[in-house]
Structure 1
C-alpha cells in the first residue's frame, strides 16, 4: 500500500493547474445512459473513481473510451445489455447510485446495489427513492439491492426535498428529463456540479430551468441526443491547493480557478489573513505576514462553506493564532482526521459535530494514517507546515479525488514524494 512522505517546507512559488471536478464528472458520466447517441466529456480528471464509474457503465453495456491521456471520455450507450449495477463495483464508490435515475428513465427498470465509499456517514438513499417514486417508480429494497421499475413510465411531478441533497437532486433531475410532462424539484441542491449537469443535459436536448437555484423545473422530452461537454473545474481541488501557500508561505496561482466556485471559502481565507487575487488565468493566493488568524467554520450546502474543505481548513487552523470552532453540519463522523492531526501536535477537542482547535506555533512530523479522501490531503498539507518528516499511509483514498498530487505540489517547491510498495 503506497505512502506519501512530506518534509517541512519553505515558501511555495508557481502555478498549479486545476483538474475537472471529480464530483461533476461522476455525475455527468451516467448521463450517457439517457441517450443512444454518444456523449463526450472533455477536461475529465484522471482519478481512480472515474475508472470505477467507467467499469460500472461498461458492465451495463455502455462503451467508455479514454482519450488524450484520460482527459477526454468518449461514451456511448447505444446498446445497453443490463440494468443490474452489481455490488462488487458499486461498493467502491458512493456516486455509483447515480445510474439509478437514468436507467429507470431509459429502460423502465433498474437493480442497483446500495453504495459504498468513504466512511464519513450514513448518507442514506431515502431522498433518491422519494423523488423517483414521485415520478412514478416502484422501488423496494431486497438483499442489499434497490429494485426499481416504472411499468407505466415516468411522469412529471412536484417534488419537495426535505434536505437539499446533491445526489438526490442529480438522480431526480436526470430521470425527469425523459419523464412525461413537467417536474418541479423544490429545495434542490445549488452546487456548481448541479449547474454543470444541467448544462450538459441541455446540450443533449433536455429542457431545464432554474439550476443553481432552489427550484428546478424540467419539461420532459421524448429522447435526448449526443453532445460534447467540458467538465467544470474542481472547486475542492481548487480550495485545497489554495491552502498550500497558507501553510508554507509564498505565492501560488491556481490555473482555471474561479471565485464563484469558492466564494464562502475565500471569505474565510480573507478573515484568516490570506489574500486571494483574481487573474486572467485563475486565482493567485498568498499568506500575509505572520501566522494565520483563527476563524470559526460551519459547513453548509452550497453556497456555504463546503464540507469537503473542512479537514484541510482544520489542519491550517491547527497552526493559527487563537482558537477556532468548526461545526460539521453535513456529515456525521467527519472529524476522523482530528486524532491524526493531534499525533502531529495539534490541539483539538471534538464533541459530537463540533471541533475546537487551539492553534500551536508549529506542528511536528509524524507517521499518520489517512481515514478518507479529504483527510488524506489535509495530512499532506499539515506535513508541509510541520517540523521534520511526515509519512501519510493508506493514500489510496487520495487517488480517488486528487490526480498527481505529488507532481502538482512538487512543481511549486513542496518536498513531497510517493513511496510505492511492491
Structure 2
C-alpha cells in the first residue's frame, strides 16, 4: 500500500492542467451499455474508479480499450452478462448505475447493492423508485437488486423528494430507451449531468432541460455510437486552487470551465487570495499573511460543492479568526477533522456544523485518509505544514485524482509517493 510524503512550508508556483471529470467519466462509461456501437471518450482521466468500472463493464461483455493519451473506447456489441457481482460493485458506488441501462437494453439485470466511501448512508431507494415508476419489477435478494422489464420500460413523471445527482443521472440513463416521455422534477443541476445529457443527445437521445430542475426525456428505440470529450473536473480544479491558497504562491490552472465553480472563486477572494480568470484558465495568487475567515454552507449545485468542503476547511484552519462550515449534503463528512487536528488544527464539530478557529501554522504529522476528498484536504494541509507529513491509505486519493503528486511537483511541491 502506498503513502504520500510531503515536506511542507514551500509556496507553489507553476501551471496545472486539469483532467476530465471523474464524476462525469464514470457515468459516460456506463452509456456504452445502451448501444451496440462504439462509444469513444476523450479527455478521460486515468483513475482507480475508471479502472474498476472498466473491469465491471468487461465482465458484462463490453470491450474496453484505453487508447493513447486520454482516450477510451467502449463497445458493447452484445451483452454477455447482465449480472453485476458484489466483488466488482462494492469497490465503487457509482457502478450501481449499470442497473438502469442493463434493464433498458436487455430487459433484466441483477446488480449488487453498492459500496464506496464512508461519508453517509446514501441509500439507493430513489434510484429504485424511479425504475419502478418506469415499469420495472424489482426485488431484493441477499444483497442484490433483481430487476426485470420484459415488456419494456415506459415513460413516467418522477418527482425526487430531495435533490440527488446519482438518482437524476440513473433515471436519465434509463429513460432514454423507455417508450414515451419521462419528466424528472426537482432534478439535480450539476455540470456533469449536462455533460451526460449532451453525450446521450449526440447518440440520438431526446433530452431537454438538463442543468435545470425539470428534465424531459422522450424515449427513442435505439442509440448510435459517439465520440465525446469529458468535461473538465471542477472538483480537481477547486482542489488545486485551494492548494495554492493554502500553501501560498502563484498557480495557473488550465483546461477548466471556470463558470462551473462560480460559488468558489468569490470565497477564495474573500479569504485573501487574488483570483484572475477567463473561460478556460484561472490564476490563484496568495502572498504573505494569514487567510481571512470565511463561513461556508455546502449546497446542491450551483451552491458550494460538498466535494470541496474538506479542502476549504483546510484553508480556514490557517485563517486569522473563526469560520463556520456547515455540511448540508452528507451527514458524515467531517471525518477529516480529527486528522487535521493531528496537524494542529482547532476544529469543534457539532452535528452538521464545524467551528474552525484558525491557527498560525500546521505542524507535520502522520495522518490517515478517510475518504476521497478528505485525503485531498490532508495533501493541501501537508503542503503548508512545517516538517514532513506522511499520509497513509492514499488509495482513496487515487480514486479521483490523476497523478496528484506529479502535478503538484511541477509547481515546486516537495511531494513523493512511497510504499508503506
> What is the 5 A alignment of 1:316-395?
316-395=315-394
In structure 2, the partner of 1:294 is 293
In structure 2, the partner of 1:28 is 28
SS in structure 2 at match of 1:284: strand
Contact 1:137 1:154 in 2 (8 A): yes
> What is the 5 A alignment of 1:68-83?
68-69=68-69, 71-83=70-82
Contact 1:19 1:233 in 2 (8 A): yes
Which whole-Å CA distance do the structure 2 matches of 1:139 and 1:229 have between them?
33
Contact 2:9 2:387 in 1 (8 A): no
Which whole-Å CA distance do the structure 2 matches of 1:249 and 1:313 have between them?
14
Shift of 1:265: 1.3
> What is the 5 A alignment of 1:30-45?
30-45=30-45
In structure 2, the partner of 1:259 is 258
Is 1:405 paired with 2:404?
Answer: yes
SS in structure 2 at match of 1:418: strand
Which whole-Å CA distance do the structure 2 matches of 1:147 and 1:258 have between them?
39
In structure 2, the partner of 1:13 is 13
In structure 2, the partner of 1:309 is 308
Which whole-Å CA distance do the structure 2 matches of 1:275 and 1:155 have between them?
52
> What is the 5 A alignment of 1:55-94?
55-69=55-69, 71-94=70-93
SS in structure 2 at match of 1:172: helix
SS in structure 1 at match of 2:5: strand
Greater mean alpha carbon deviation, residues 283-292 or residues 313-322: 283-292
Give the TM-score taking structure 2 as reference length.
0.98
SS in structure 1 at match of 2:264: helix
Shift of 1:9: 2.7
Shift of 1:279: 4.1
SS in structure 1 at match of 2:356: strand
Greater mean alpha carbon deviation, residues 223-232 or residues 285-294: 285-294
Is 1:134 paired with 2:138?
Answer: no
Contact 1:9 1:414 in 2 (8 A): no
Q: Hey, which bits of structure 1, 4+ residues long, moved more than 6 A?
A: none
Which whole-Å CA distance do the structure 2 matches of 1:106 and 1:267 have between them?
45
Contact 1:83 1:110 in 2 (8 A): yes
Contact 2:257 2:280 in 1 (8 A): no
Shift of 1:201: 0.1
Shift of 1:289: 4.7
Give the TM-score taking structure 1 as reference length.
0.98
In structure 1, the partner of 2:166 is 167
In structure 1, the partner of 2:54 is 54
In structure 1, the partner of 2:4 is 4
Which whole-Å CA distance do the structure 2 matches of 1:178 and 1:414 have between them?
48
Contact 1:256 1:283 in 2 (8 A): no
Which whole-Å CA distance do the structure 2 matches of 1:73 and 1:139 have between them?
33
Contact 2:89 2:113 in 1 (8 A): yes
Shift of 1:272: 1.0
CA RMSD of superposed structures (Å): 1.0
Contact 2:258 2:279 in 1 (8 A): no
Shift of 1:12: 1.4
Which whole-Å CA distance do the structure 2 matches of 1:207 and 1:397 have between them?
36
Which whole-Å CA distance do the structure 1 matches of 2:279 and 2:140 have between them?
51
In structure 2, the partner of 1:203 is 202
Shift of 1:333: 1.2
SS in structure 2 at match of 1:380: helix
Greater mean alpha carbon deviation, residues 261-270 or residues 12-21: 261-270
Gaps of 5+ in 2: none
Q: How many residues align?
A: 420
Shift of 1:385: 0.8
Gaps of 5+ in 1: none
SS in structure 1 at match of 2:265: helix
Contact 2:336 2:369 in 1 (8 A): yes
Shift of 1:85: 0.4
Contact 2:369 2:392 in 1 (8 A): yes
Is 1:155 paired with 2:154?
Answer: yes
